[in-house]
Homo-oligomer: A and B are copies of this chain.
Amino acid sequence: MRDQLREIGMIARALDSISNIEFKELELTKGQYLYLVRICEEPGIIQEKLAELIKVDRTTAARAIQKLETNGLITKQDDPYNKKIKRLVPTERGKELYPVIIREHEHSTDVALTGLSDQEAEQLLRLLKRVRHNIEGDWDAVKKGKKRHY
């Protein structure tokens, strides 16, 4: 049975759930860790790109980012050459949370990959990257109102 996508859904929900519970200690509310790690890893990224990167709705990202700013974890900086965009940059406090988030993530990865050989883990990653690449186009298109026909 071709249950790959169901498995992916289950894994993703379970892990997101775990992370959200664990990060409540850091005063991060639902989903925020997702945005914060990416902003730390790519400071200066803009909202639109970030939403695209993690595959969430633009408006959802907008509000999550808004809240990160309100809570003093990131700032929105005006670009000197482009008045439209706002560059997202972590604050000191934001930067401090980064290693904590990564540690949790590494632990979850350890748990997830338990019993897999290095070759299997690598193979899994390669295959997942291809799958992700395969669906990106559809996500983009459907989000923009295009109809898939099947």
Q: Could you list which residues of chain A lie within 8 angstroms of chain B, going by C-beta atoms?
A: 2-5, 7-18, 21-22, 34, 54-57, 103-109, 111-116, 120-121, 123-125, 127-132, 134-136, 138-139, 142-143, 148, 150
Complex: chain B residue closest to A120, CB-CB: B127
Some 8 contacts from A to B, beta carbons below 8 A apart, are A2-B106, A4-B109, A9-B15, A9-B55, A13-B55, A15-B139, A22-B148, A111-B138
Contact A125:B4 (CB < 8 A) given known A9-B12, A132-B10: yes
Contact B13 A12 (CB under 8 A): yes
What's the minimum C-beta distance from A112 to chain B, rounded to whole angstroms?
Answer: 5
- Return chain B residues, CB-CB under 8 Å to A12: 8-9, 11-13
Q: A116 to B116, alpha carbons, bound, how many Å? A: 21
Contact A104 B150 (CB under 8 A): yes
Contact A123 B125 (CB under 8 A): no
Q: A136 to B17, alpha carbons, bound, how many Å? A: 11
